Each structure stands twice: as structure tokens, then as C-alpha cells.
Structure 1
Amino acid sequence: MKIARIKNKLPQLAVLLVILVAIGVRTEHNKKSRAQSVTLPSKELLACIKQALPTTESIEEVAPETWKVVGGGHEVIGQAILAQKTTSDIIGYSGPTPLAIVVNDQEQVECIALLPNDETPSYVGRVVEEGFLKRWKGMPVEEAVSKDMDAISGATYSSVAINETVKKRLSEYAQAASVARKADLKAIVGYVAVLFVLLYALAFYFYPQRFNKYRISLLILSIGVLGFFYGSFLSVKLVGSWLMQGISLKNQVIFVTIALLAFVLPYFFGKNFYCSYVCPFGASQELLGKLSKRKVELPSPVVSVLSRTRSKVLLLLMAITLFGSTLEISDAEPFSIFLFASASKGVVVLAVLFLLLSVAIPRAWCRYFCPTGALIDFFRRESKDILPKSVTPKVQLIALLVAVLFVLAVFGAALFTSF
């Protein structure tokens, strides 16, 4: 595969660099904003952390009232937990008994401390004096969630309330940790599956003559893994959100990987990677197209107009996004059909319409209306091919009119089906 003439794509390179810088700036800005908005732990919890985990270097909020404790070697050495909001219904003698709880990296309780409370001071004082809060030290969380400690004589209500608070909050923590572990396992399986599909697609991209006989398998994997299983598809909505909100690599590493391949490979090699080998909706159209050998041949003037329509759709959607419209631009692309439970009725109609069209008109959506494909193609083509002189202003104007009608129809259908 020959490398494209890079010198003829310098304007596209400039645009790509501007986009990357804009996303980077927005990501850093939002990261600082989020850091400033994080709820700070109480001084009692900080003291508990310092006492229980003296090698603490920093803490990071990972969930409401839960912080990850990081050691000097940047390793996670424990979790810090507040038992306050979700345990406020547990009353001692005259009020709730909110707690600070620190758990080490072995899931053992290291420290429990009382937070400011409205419980009777003398009862609370007796609980502390009797060492009641130290009874959990070294106890595994799974044991603590069901452990009933003997009450302190003279502070029965307070000690029982503290015991129930520990059990309830650690039960919530253990459940959340279990769910997180299952989610992590699912994410790892998902990452491996997506990586396999991308590597498989790259084999088709670089060695088409050797692999094209297996193309149906790639289409099925794209639809099953990238579409339904992981929902990993590019869209104008996604790129727009990166420009407005930045990127979270922790949660979007798959999307970022796909985007880099989608934009960088065509730039250097002049051949579309994402649309031809990865996009699950494109794969769906291609598979359905195999149902019938009879295809509709559109007149050349119609093809000339439609082939320039998707770039106009892209410009319209970008304008809608930049001017802060309340319209949901994801409704203008059919990709969320793979996330059927969250797909709007308008998207379902749009997706079904173009899937049916693809039986007679190969990849009708991809070739004529897809704004994401138009964005990728901008970096694939040489500068002289973006606005070719052979295309008359009349054709460009008609294409713009078709794009306007398409966008109006899509958003109109979305609003109509929302009622």
C-alpha cells in the first residue's frame, strides 16, 4: 500500500492539529473543573486516614462518600468511606451516628472514627472510652457487614446505632466493590474483543487480496462486537462532545483508539479504514445488500448531487452544535440503533429506512448522507479534491438544499415520534 502524497494534505493536517489541541485544552480544563468540584472528606476522615495508612500520598474521590487512598508509589493502599448520607436513618439515643471508615488494600477495617453528630455527648464519650470503635480493627469487610458487637453498658442505643451504621455502610461498599469488579471484568473482555476485531480489520485494510474472501466474517464481527456488544461507533455527536467536554481516556480508550485509526490511516494511506472495515452500520448495510443481486442504478446527475450531500449534512450539524441548539444531533445518525434500549423512535425509523434501502442501493447511508463518513473523508482526500472545479455551483447548491431537507425531516421526525 502506497503512502498518500502528504504534501497535498497540509490543510487537513492543520485542521487535525487544531482539533487535537482543542480537545486537549478542553480535557485539561474540565479535569481541573472536576477537581475543584470534588467533595472534600471531613477532617475526621483525614485524621483516620493518616492514622491508619501513614504512607498516604493522595486521595481521589471514586464515588459519593468514597475515596481511593494512594500511597507514595502511586499504588492504591486503601479506601476511605463516610457513613453519613445513606445511614442517616439509623438513630441512636438522640440522633444519627455518622462515621469515618478506612479500609486497607486487603479489604480489612483499619480505622473507624465518629463524625460530628447530635447524639448525647455523654453516651458518645462512653462509647469512645470503652474502645468500641476499635473492635473492628483488622476485621475483613465481609465479616464486618454481618458482625453484631455487644453493646456498651450505659450507652446501649449509641453503640447499637454505631454497629448498624458500620454494617449498613460497609454492606453498601462491599456491594459496590463487587459490582465494580464484575464491571471491570466485563470491560476487559470487551476491550479484548474490540481489539481483536480492530486487528482483524487492519489485516483486511493492509492485505485486502489475501483476506477479502473472509469479509463476511468481518462484517458479522463488526455488527456483533462493535455494534451490539460494545456500542463502539464513531459519530458527529461523539466528536462534538470531545470538542465541548474533552476526553476521558479511562472510560473512552476504545473510542479514542478507533478514532485515531479512523482519521490517521486515511490521511497517510489515502484509503478509508473505518467506513470500509469497522463501522457496524456500514457492515449491516453491506450484509443486507447481499440479499438481492438486483440493484437500483441511480441517474448520474442524482448520484452527483447525493454524493456531495453528506458533507453539507456535516456542516449543518456542526452549525447546530456550535450555536448551542437544543436539538439532539445524535438523532441525525442511525448508529444508536445498536443501543436499542436508548435509541429514540426517530433513530429507529431512520435506521430501518436506510437498512431497507441498502438491499437495492448499496450502502445508501454511507455514500450519500453519513456526516461522520464525510468528516473522515476530509482527511483522506487531497486538498484539490475537497471542492473539485469539475463540480458546478449549481450541483453544490442542490446538494445543500437536499441536506437541509434531510436534516429538517430527521429532526421533524424525532420531535414527532417523541410525543
Structure 2
Amino acid sequence: MATARTLPVQNALQLQRARQRRRQTIVTAIALAIIIAAWLIGYANTGSSDAGPYVKNVLPGADRIETRRDLYVGYQGDTLVGYAQVGTASGYGGPVEVLVGIDPDGNITGAQIVGHKETPGFFRLIGRENFLAQFVGLSYKDPMQLGDDIDRVSGATFSAEGVARSIREAVRDLSTSELNASVPAEHRSIKFGIPEATLIALFVVSYFLHKTRRKNVKHYGRWAVMLTGIVVLGFLYNKPFTLSNVVSLLAGFWPDWQDNLYWFLLLGGIFSVTFIQGKNPYCSWFCPFGGVQEILGSFTGAKVYRPRSIYTKLQWAQRVLAFGAIVAGLALRMPGAASYEPFGTLFNLKGSWPQWVLLVLVMLASLVIYRPWCNYICPLGPVVDYVGEVRHWAKDAWKNGKARFSNKAS
């Protein structure tokens, strides 16, 4: 029972919490308004790339080009060389625009990327492996599927699939509209393999381990889950959760679900479990990058660093950094530009020198501080926290609605 002395203290704490909640609500509303404004700016500045200067590259031999809206027709003298058109599909960081040329028989004569929102690193991989050259000579009758008649690009699967789908759509559209060809139906299977199965298993296992009260089971189970995430999602397949995924989702650059089921399982799992359970299973249980930091810290006994004087400021700096990256990604319509995580550098050992410097600094800091990237820099923590905030609003609205209904009924 509260005494007369403790009641004023409790009332003061309740008032303080209420003020904090109001400030947090106001800040969240302002942030949402800015994000919407950035989305509108990016959408207003969206336009197709000018493919005209590249037409002769995909229609070799053409000395004259006629333009009919989005269609290019190439001639050598009076002889028809072929047709060219831009195909568009979503890759890892957003739309990929590929100019494709075909001859009068429906065979691909050339393909060139004329616009994209991907990071330069992904397209360096595609260029290094001469990915586009594989399509030359194929026709609208060929499947043009990764892993079938087109080789995959290790470390750039999403980007490669975006390019392949852009080419498929352009070739099929040209063959139908200009050649009056009977294009065979596109038989597409859902790509479900080891990464997708592992991801589902990790979500399920971490959910039940989180609920168990047996400390040893939870402790060793969490380490098993974390190591699986590092090996499978990190080093074997290099498929971590990045800020580019979030910005792509917000910008509406959703990849094709049959070819990118992993993408939907990852984002859907994180947001739905966080909303239902109130806990983020990915970051704390099986994020590959977080797991590597935790393993390094376990060798030296790294501790959580939360100095009272600056901890709140560090949290706000992390939120502002994540928020600025999201706003920039939406305003520029370039999700790849929003991602500043060094995940790929660690798991595929490829990256620019700033990424290598950042990675080395984080790894060294992990020997002293428990998960320094996760706690003070990673943009995904604030994003998932926002989902938790929406969950809190929904619960409050549900409780208030039930209370009003009960009062009216009584």
C-alpha cells in the first residue's frame, strides 16, 4: 500500500512518463510526415532513362534508327536490322532498366543497362562476370532464367535477377507486339531452397526458445541459432537484412516474389513477429553481422557500454543517422544509396576501402564493447523499434476502444 510520502513520487514519475510519451508521439509523427514528403519528392522526380544513345550498341549494324514512342527500330540502309526496347524490373536496390535489341527472328542481338538504383559494387560483379553476354543469341522461346540457361552471379543474386527479368520482359513484349510471334507461356517455379528453409526454421526456433523458461535451453539454443545465421545467411549465401530492403519496401520497389521469396520471408518475418511478440527476433538472435560481433566479444569478455552521460545522445545519433539514410534513399529513389552497413564486405570479402576501414574498426571495437555496431550505429534497430512503437499504439487503441465499449454497454 502506498504511503503519503510515496504517492507524490509516483505521481511525478507518471507525469514524466506521460510527457515522454507525448514527445515521442510528436517526434514520430513529424518523422512520418518527413518520410512521406521524401517519398513524394522522389516519385515526382522519377523518370525513365534516355536509352537513345545506346540503341546502336544493342542493334549492331544499324546505321539508321527510327523512334516510335518507347520503341526503337534499326535499319541498315532500307533493310530492317531489328527492334529495341527498355525492360524494367526490381533488383536489390530498386528498378533496373535494360535496353534490349532483337533481330527479325526474335534473337537477342544485344543488351545494355541504361539505368539502375543499385550500388556500384553489385554491378561491378555483373560486369566482371560478363553477365549480359550470356543473353546474346537467345530468343523469346528460351526461359532466360538464372540457374537454368543463365549463370548466377555470386554475391549479386538480386541484382542479376532484376537484370534477367528486365531482359525477359522486353524480349517477350517486342516479340509479341512487333514480330506477332506466339510467345510460349512463362513457366516459373517458386524458388525455395536452403536459404528460405533456414530462415523459416530460425524464425520458428527463436520464437519458441524466447518463450521457454529453461535458461540452459535458451542459452545454448540461442548460440545454435546465431551460429546457423552466421554460416548460412552470412558466409554461404550473404543474405542479411539491410536498410536497402526497408527503403525498397517503402519506395514500392518490390521484387518478383517467385524469384525472391527470401526477401518477403525476411521482411515479413521480422515485422510480423516484432508486431505480434514485441521482440525483434532477427537482430538479437540470428543476424549474421551481430553474431560475428558477439563471438569476438565472447573471447575477450566485452561488456555493454552505456555511459549515463551520453547514452541517450548515442541512441538519438543512431536514430537520426538511420532516419537521414531512409529520407535520402526515398528522395533519390535509390535504396542502395541508403545502405551504409559493411555486411557484404565481411561475408563476401569485397568492398571499397571506406567499407574495409569501417569493418576493421567495428571488429576491433567488438573486442572491447558488446555488439558496438548493433547498439550504436546499425540503422535497423531504430527501424524495428518503430514497428514496436506502432504495436504499442495499436495495443493502446485496442484497450481504449474496449474500455469505451464496456462503458457504453454498462
Flag the structure with higher helix content: 1
TM-score relative to the length of structure 2: 0.49
Specify the structure having the higher radius of gyration (Cα): 1
Output the TM-score relative to the length of structure 1.
0.48
